[in-house]
Amino acid sequence: MATTLVDVDETALRALRAAGLRVTAPRRAVLSWLVKHPHSTVDAISAAVRGMLGAVSTQAVYDVLSVCTAAGLLRRIEPAGHPARFERRVRDNHHHVVCRLCGRTDDVDCVVGDAPCLEPSDVRGFAVDEAEVVFWGLCPDCVTAGRPAQGFPQQEETRQ
Ligand SMILES: [Zn+2]
Ligand SMILES: [Zn+2]
C-alpha cells in the first residue's frame, strides 16, 4: 500500500523551510518517512521513497540525505562494519545500542543530557565537545534465535 504525500508530515515542510532548503517531493518524503522509521539504511529509505513517489533513483536519495544531514535536519550514524543509518532525532547527544548480528539500532538517552557525556581523565589539551558512544551487543531477536553471543556471525560452515 503506497503512502501518498497527503500523509506527509507537516514538520518536514517546516523543517525544510526553516533550514532554507528548497522543498522537493523527495526531501519531504525522506524526512517524513524517517519520523516513524528512525535509524534506517539508504536501501530502506530508497525503497520507501519509491513506494511513495514512484521512480526516484538511489543517487537522488543519497543527495537528499547528504543535503539534509549537512543542514542539521538529519543525523547520520555509522556503526563500524554496518551500513550508515539516518534519523530525524538531532542535537540531543543521544547514543545508540547496535546489534552486532542484524544491525538493529536503538536509541539510548545520554546519561548526562548534553555533550560530552563522559569526562575523560586527560584530553591532552584538546577542547572536547563530544564523546561518541556506541553500545554493542545482541538484540532480543538475535538472543532468542540463539545466535552466537560472541563477536561476529560465523558463516563458514563446511558444506558437503
Ligand atoms: Zn539482532
Ligand atoms: Zn538515534
84-118 residue pLDDT tens: 999 999 988 899 999 999 999 999 988 776 777 77
**Strands (DSSP E) along 5-154, which ranges?**
40-41, 75-77, 85-87, 95-99, 105-108, 134-137
Of the candidates 101, 98, 82, the one whose C-alpha atom is nearest the C-alpha of residue 44 is: 82
Q: What is the reported pLDDT for 76?
A: 96
157 CA to centre of ligand 2 in angstroms:
35
Q: For residue range 43-59, list pLDDT tens digits in order.
A: 999 999 999 999 999 99
119 CA to centre of ligand 1 in angstroms:
30
Q: Please, which residues have CB less than 5 A from ligand 1, an ion?
A: 99, 101-102, 104, 139, 142
- For residue 93, the ligand closest to its alpha carbon is 2
**Strands (DSSP E) along 100-144, which ranges?**
105-108, 134-137
The answer to whether residues 40 and 49 touch, using CB atoms and an 8 Å cutoff, is no
Distances in Å between the alpha carbon of 9 and those of 20, 25, 36, 156? Answer: 18, 12, 10, 45
Of the candidates 45, 4, 40, the one whose C-alpha atom is nearest the C-alpha of residue 25 is: 4
Quick check: bond before 116 cis, omega within 30? yes
DSSP for residue 121 = S
154 CA to centre of ligand 2 in angstroms:
28
Q: Which residues pair with 40 in a beta bridge?
A: 86
- For residue 104, the ligand closest to its alpha carbon is 1
pTM: 0.81
* Confidence band, pLDDT 50/70/90 cuts, at residue 154: very low
